[in-house]
Amino acid sequence: MRLGMIGFGNIAQTLLTQLKQTLDAPLEHLAVLVLPEMVDETEARLTSEFASVAGEFAVVTDAQALLSHRPELVVECAGHAAVLAHAPSVLHAGIDVVIVSIGALSDEALEKELRAAASAGGARLILPAGAVGGVDLLAALGAAGGLEVRYRGSKPPLAWSGTPAEQALDLGALDDAAIFFRGTAREAAREFPKNANVAATLALAGAGFEATQVELVADPAAPGNVHEYSVVSPLAKYTMRIENLPSAGNAKTSVSTVYSVLREIRNRIGPVAI
């Protein structure tokens, strides 16, 4: 496979480590799109740590250069700004894009642009389950309509540092769980953009950004990043609770996110997709 990757941070590097350990054969080609100031470091790290992942490598700084390497699939793991800057051109060129920064799609104009680019290019925007699970059932039930989806995201109090939770609560002094946000997935994404991925994933799979209800909680007893949601539909009801371990390089990223992207790649390469 010829793979393109946007970003070379924690998710990208953990993904390459997983590919190194699990691929039966190296990728044919890997092209990585990074910020200009990251080029030298990325080239050095690819050579020293990830040489066995692909037969050939390229490091580029814009979407046209990425496309010149003819990737069959591009994986974005870089953030909202990178989705905006690069994903439309890649989709327009007919190449499928896996978007990890799904919270970016809470920006209605960007969601519209991505959908239009995918339609024009005959490509697909692939939204992996990421840190959450059960998205297959939610998306399937969504087709029947009548969904009620309630999501609750809990983290240890200090994991909410640097967010508006700091204004609502004394994060260092909590003894019990405290809910500091209640609203729609659209409002949650606007107020907590760095924590918007799971709410956005559930909204896009199911009832949409306005009808998906979100609660955010600072909980001293939370064992990590905990995602709970319940779904009521005319066809079925279910609840999910996922306790994620943080990724070694970035406590804000649940490590299962990387495995969810790995699954998308393996499903493209292997004889069975599941």
Ligand X SMILES: NC(=O)c1ccc[n+]([C@@H]2O[C@H](COP(=O)([O-])OP(=O)(O)OC[C@H]3O[C@@H](n4cnc5c(N)ncnc54)[C@H](O)[C@@H]3O)[C@@H](O)[C@H]2O)c1
Active site residues: 227
- Which residue's entry shows tokens 């470091």? 41
Smallest gap from Cβ 201 to ligand X, in A, equals 6
What are the residues binding ligand X (CB under 6 A)? Answer: 6-12, 33-35, 38, 77-79, 81-82, 85, 100-102, 130-131, 197-198, 201, 250, 253-254, 257
Q: Which is nearer to ligand X, 129 or 178 (CB)?
A: 129
Cα distance between the two ends of the chain? 18
In Å, what is the CA distance from 107 to each residue of 67, 80, 128, 235? 25, 9, 18, 30
Smallest gap from Cβ 149 to ligand X, in A, equals 16
- Residue pair 137/149 in contact (Cβ under 8 Å)? The answer is no
Q: Which is nearer to ligand X, 106 or 233 (CB)?
A: 106
Smallest gap from Cβ 90 to ligand X, in A, equals 12
Handedness of CA 8, 13, 14, 19 (dihedral sign): positive
Smallest gap from Cβ 70 to ligand X, in A, equals 19
Smallest gap from Cβ 8 to ligand X, in A, equals 5
Q: How wide is the angle at C-alpha 85 spanned by C-alphas 84 and 89, nearest 5°? A: 100
Could you give the angle at which helices 10-22 and 255-269 cross, rounded to 10 degrees?
50
* CA 73 distance to own-chain centroid: 16
- Residue pair 100/11 in contact (Cβ under 8 Å)? The answer is yes
CB atoms within 10 A of CB 228: 17
- Residue pair 93/114 in contact (Cβ under 8 Å)? The answer is no
Residue nearest to ligand X (CB): 9
